């Protein structure tokens, strides 16, 4: 199963993003495909926060626009929105300790731990910070050959 990070969600949603076309095509392919794909709950929250933040975009997306985009993705029958569950803490401890995560890095560690908890095969992200978690396979689908 492929999981999608916040930055790809934002790029796919925001027409003014330099990576909009590529990211929108990637999300459309996942949503219309038969293979399972996932969005971690923290990425959902962060997507809404970033896309609606006036310091991130001028003009920002309205809450209605962000929720409407989320609703469109949720219509995909192959999408799973994934989060913490019983036993998740083992993955979080391993990821935080292994990467010596602290401060803001714990947010990425949480996403990595959720992906590992749900046996995600690969996290697609344009964020190189996930390379700190060697137990989670990552790929930037916006870069050829990555």
Structural domains in the chain plus CATH codes:
2-139 (3.40.50.1010)
pLDDT band at 146 (very low <50, low <70, confident <90, very high): low
Nearest to 10 by CA among 44, 35, 40: 44
**What is the greatest pairwise CA distance in the chain?**
41
CA distances from 56 to 32, 59, 86 (A): 29, 9, 35
**H-state helical runs in 52-104:** 63-74, 88-99
pLDDT attached to residue 111: 98
Can you tell me the mean pLDDT for 38-58?
97
* Gap between the Cα atoms of 14 and 37, Å rounded: 21
Tokens of residue 26, six digits: 């990637």
pLDDT attached to residue 117: 98
Share of the chain above pLDDT 90, in %: 97
CA distances from 106 to 10, 74, 92, 113 (A): 21, 26, 9, 10
Q: In the predicted model, is pLDDT for residue 84 greater than 70?
A: yes
What are 117-145's pLDDT values in tens digits? 999 999 999 999 999 999 999 999 999 76
Work out the mean pLDDT of the chain and round it to a whole number. Answer: 96
């Amino acid at each position: 199963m492929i999981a999608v990070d916040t930055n790809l969600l934002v790029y796919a949603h925001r027409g003014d993003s330099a990576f909009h076309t590529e990211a929108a095509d990637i999300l459309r392919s996942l949503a219309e495909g038969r293979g399972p794909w996932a969005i971690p709950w923290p990425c959902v929250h962060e997507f809404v926060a970033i896309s609606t933040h006036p310091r991130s975009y001028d003009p920002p997306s309205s809450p209605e626009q962000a929720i409407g985009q989320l609703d469109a993705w949720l219509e995909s029958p192959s999408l799973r929105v994934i989060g913490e569950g019983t036993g998740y803490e083992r993955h979080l401890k391993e990821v935080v300790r292994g990467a010596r995560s602290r401060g803001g890095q714990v947010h990425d560690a949480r996403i990595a731990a959720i992906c590992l908890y749900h046996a995600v095969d690969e996290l697609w992200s344009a964020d190189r910070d996930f390379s700190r978690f060697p137990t989670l396979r990552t790929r930037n689908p916006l870069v050829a050959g990555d």
